[in-house]
Chains A and B, each alone.
Chain A
Amino acid sequence: MNNASKRMVFDATVWTASVLMTLVLVAHEAMAESKTFAATNPKWKAECGSCHIAYPPQLLPAPAWRRIMSGLDKHFGADASLDAGTAAEIGVFLEQNAASGKRARTGGDTLRITETAWFRREHDEVPAATWKHTGVKTAANCTACHTAAERGDFSERNIRIPR
């Protein structure tokens, strides 16, 4: 083999390897970013689920949960204060199951799940009229479209968009 063809073989090998690596990484990312969340805790379910659904811990990174739990008396315009023991238990549960991977990297500094980069991208196909639908009203109302959100299931097959 002359130098030119050696070079071609080398290039093709590198190219193939990098494509394969990319595929593996993408697949890994897709698998890592599951849309069903099984982790549960009775206190989290009861306390965080009384005014809205108990948002899965995997939707925000640990530092965001820590800030939310330290400001419950002023929780998005309402007092959601808890006794110290309950708050501590829920805090541990949230941080232990907090976002990792893409959702942690693109979570940013916001405390609102609906303002994270990944949330916006996941919902960029939802038309403005849907957000204003009487059955939706607020982007925080997951169950309006994610019919199994109460069970931590946000998978595509359980989406029903109100019309």
Chain B
Amino acid sequence: MRKFGLVIGLLMAVSQGLSASYASAATPVEIQKGFEAAARDGTPGFAGFSAQRGEQFFKARHGNDWSCDTCHTANPLARGKHATTGKEIAPLAPLANPQRFTDAAKVDKWFKRNCNDVLNRPCTAREKGDVLEYLISLKQ
């Protein structure tokens, strides 16, 4: 019985490991591509994502106390800090943190939460794509 439990446990661990590695299979550019069709639909005369627009969006306040850089700092290559709890946040720019924007579900989860906190509404596909363009463009 114990052996059986062990085997089941091992199988579960292996399958979780596999699904985790599948979930992390995307690249930041692929994740950004996922926003393109909706951005095109939602923006008349859409001419691609813009790092400059993304940076402005990232550093501006949108009606609430917090902007993106409140927690992620004005330099997303650096480590950030949660505004309320003070817990350290790993860098947001993919160059400084290769795990960023490699898991679509995680990206969706955090855009949903953080856009709500910063803007009181969901971000548009163009806003998300612009922020990604900015973060991907950051070099050391």
Instruction: Say yes or no for A73: interface residue by CB 8 A criterion.
Output: yes
Flag if B113 contacts A137 (CB, 8 Å): no
- Chain A residues, CB < 8 A from B140: none
Flag if B117 contacts A51 (CB, 8 Å): no
| Interface size classification for chain B | 10 to 19
| Alpha-carbon gap, A138 to B109, bound state (A) | 26
| Alpha-carbon gap, A80 to B84, bound state (A) | 13
Per-residue CB proximity of A61-80 to B under 8 Å, as 1/0?
00000000000010011111
| Alpha-carbon gap, A53 to B87, bound state (A) | 8
Flag if B117 contacts A52 (CB, 8 Å): no
| Alpha-carbon gap, A147 to B85, bound state (A) | 16
- Chain A residues, CB < 8 A from B85: 51-52, 138, 140-141
Flag if A78 contacts B86 (CB, 8 Å): no
- Chain B residues, CB < 8 A from A73: 116
Report which B residues bind A (CB closer than 8 A): 82, 84-87, 109, 112-114, 116-117
Flag if A78 contacts B117 (CB, 8 Å): yes
Instruction: Say yes or no for A22: interface residue by CB 8 A criterion.
Output: no
Flag if B84 contacts A79 (CB, 8 Å): no
Q: Of the candidates A81, A82, A141, which one forms a contact with B86 in the assembled complex, judged by CB atoms under 8 Å apart?
A: A141
| Interface size classification for chain A | 10 to 19
Closest to A144 in B: B86
| Alpha-carbon gap, A52 to B89, bound state (A) | 10
Flag if A79 contacts B116 (CB, 8 Å): yes
- Chain A residues, CB < 8 A from B116: 73, 79, 81
Report which A residues bind B (CB closer than 8 A): 50-53, 73, 76-83, 137-138, 140-141
Flag if B117 contacts A79 (CB, 8 Å): yes
Flag if B84 contacts A77 (CB, 8 Å): yes
| Alpha-carbon gap, A83 to B108, bound state (A) | 11
Flag if B86 contacts A138 (CB, 8 Å): yes
- Chain B residues, CB < 8 A from A53: 87
List of 5 A-B pairs having minimum Cβ-Cβ separation, nearest first? A79-B116, A79-B113, A52-B85, A137-B86, A51-B82
- Chain A residues, CB < 8 A from B112: 79, 81
- From B86, B109, B116, name the one whose CB has the most chain A CB atoms within 10 angstroms: B86
Flag if A51 contacts B87 (CB, 8 Å): yes
Task: State the Cβ distance, A121 to closest chain B Cβ, in Å.
Answer: 23
- Chain A residues, CB < 8 A from B117: 78-79
| Alpha-carbon gap, A50 to B86, bound state (A) | 11
